[in-house]
Structure 1
């Protein structure tokens, strides 16, 4: 007789019982994201200890983990809103804060406050880029062809480009003078602006498109060649890769404009 009736105020205030178990398939992508954060933050530690080779490797490793956590989530059907939010937080740490502090420890500190301001501007550009990317995910009626392009340089690519002065330094094996540190500061700000800009870049999301049979073998050989060069000439390969990415931007802009003009003509009423 003391139990509350179903529609009484006491019944409405009872806590809703939810499941206390979470499938491991939802935990796995979040675990990979946490590992990427650990890699990026440890890279910051190694940078301030002067162990720049390991620092760069950890930041690039964080970029690799960031690239596979979403694919793992889709593979095991473990997508969640929690994972998406944590992935965004990981991106600002791994691709905003970590590269900026690494470059500051490597060379930007030679120009004092100018180098620190450049690092802050780069981090701000990365944050703006990630915020816009998250809002564009909910954009309604977005044409399918736009999925082949990013708006601005994506955060992982921006982090790789930001470390270009480090690649050059280890390729030439020379100390970075103050003048070079000043240009590195200007360069870092430029990368931040590219990330926050609306310049279209290739997204790589068209990787699922079928490949012609006669292109399969050359593509496999190219991947093997690139990995071999990366293992044998690490810094030189990263330098060339950064230059190749810069060279791809004008082609992405031209391809984007051609596709936009093509769809504009198709949508024009007769």
Structure 2
């Protein structure tokens, strides 16, 4: 006779599988951590009165921040973790750090007006980053909605770097310069939360071939920056910080749409703007 089959094993509930732990991609997050360290280093240097080193730290953070996203896309290592890490790093390096540096350098001599200006800048950076994260799916990728936080930080820090390099020490006790720094911090901060379009350069592809003259132009650009880095970099970012208003005025004058918010979540174009 055939032995009866034991069906007890079939009736036992299956053991739940343990969820697989998600890892993180090392390469793009290394760039993000480097940018975060640049902001932290800048704060420490400013606390010790070494403002030139603090400015260099912020500019290095800006370079690393511009690379992490591109590296992630080129190596197909994008992740939600990387996006959140990038935003937190930006808040430290381009929000809190420039506000603390400019306050320590010039604004603390203005009393309440000084720390209010520093806080306004810091708060605008946080608002700009939060708006960027929530609007990322409906914004024309060719433009930023408001001045990007690294560029705003570069304007504030570039101003400090130029004057510190010119020999202006102990600026907080001077009569005029603290108020100029006050105005620069407010301009950079408030421009971050406007709806003015700033060109994003995201349509520039590093995978495409370019004419030889482009490489020559890049080499010449590097040479020009090396003539006097503080003045050249500050001048470049000042031009960029004004370019959005020029684009806005030109579109307004031509009757073209000026908002960078698209009407759909598809890849936006000129006709998708309102």
Q: Give the structure-1-normalised TM-score.
A: 0.81
The Cα offsets for residues 217-241 of structure 1, whole Å up to 9 and x where unpaired, read as 1x33332222123223111212321
Partner of residue 143, structure 2: 149
Partner of residue 220, structure 2: 225
1:27-106 alignment to 2 at 5 Å?
27-106=26-105
- Tell me, yes or no, if structure 1 residue 173 matches structure 2 residue 180: no
The Cα offsets for residues 82-116 of structure 1, whole Å up to 9 and x where unpaired, read as 11111111111110001111111211122122211
Partner of residue 5, structure 1: 12
Structure 1 gaps of 5+ residues are none
1:62 Cα deviation after fit? 0.8
1:161 Cα deviation after fit? 1.2
Partner of residue 17, structure 1: 18
SS at match of 2:39: helix
SS at match of 2:198: strand
1:4 Cα deviation after fit? 7.8
CA pair 91-21 structure 1, distance change in 2 beyond 3 A: closer
1:159-198 alignment to 2 at 5 Å?
159-175=153-169, 176=171, 177-198=174-195
For residues 94 and 162 of structure 1, the distance between their equivalents in structure 2, rounded to whole angstroms, comes to: 12
1:247 Cα deviation after fit? 4.1
**Whose Rg is larger?**
2
Judge conservation of contact 2:51–2:161 (CA < 8 Å) in 1.
no
1:254 Cα deviation after fit? 4.5
Judge conservation of contact 1:149–1:256 (CA < 8 Å) in 2.
no
User: In the comparison of the two structures, how many residue pairs are matched?
Assistant: 250
Q: Give the structure-2-normalised TM-score.
A: 0.80
| 189-198 or 219-228: bigger deviation | 219-228
Structure 2 gaps of 5+ residues are 1-7, 259-268
